[in-house]
Amino acid sequence: DTEVTQTPKHLVMGMTNKKSLKCEQHMGHRAMYWYKQKAKKPPELMFVYSYEKLSINESVPSRFSPECPNSSLLNLHLHALQPEDSALYLCASSPPFQETQYFGPGTRLLVL
């Protein structure tokens, strides 16, 4: 299995909602990543988990809360988001850190 899967594909939420994005990989990769991508811009790194421990947090607001329950799963919990948080959220994994990353198809988030 060489896929990274993400659910849901699309998400619409209000500013008072709580929702979660999910990411799963079964390639035995030990590093997992969350990125945010706005239209016509490159992906911006948000968080990195290495061996299930949060190793990088790129000064992301606390309304985004990552979680890595096990080596195959990565969640991004969302609470009290702002309209400017609307974007494509991409998950990726790599064997160890700093090697080729494999991306999921993304979750397109719209905050109303």
Partner 1 sequence: SQQGEEDPQALSIQEGENATMNCSYKTSINNLQWYRQNSGRGLVHLILIRSNEREKHSGRLRVTLDTSKKSSSLLITASRAADTASYFCATYPRGQNFVFGPGTRLSVLP
**Which chain residues interact with partner 1 by CB under 8 A?**
4, 33, 39, 41-45, 48, 56, 58, 88, 90, 92, 98-106, 108
Count of alpha carbons within 13 angstroms of residue 17, beta-carbon side: 13
Q: How far is the CB of 83 from partner 1 (least distance, A)?
A: 18
74 three-class SS: strand
Q: How far is the CB of 18 from partner 1 (least distance, A)?
A: 25
Q: How far is the CB of 72 from partner 1 (least distance, A)?
A: 18
Q: How far is the CB of 26 from partner 1 (least distance, A)?
A: 16
Smaller CB distance to partner 1: residue 8 or 58?
A: 58
d(CA 81, CA 104): 22
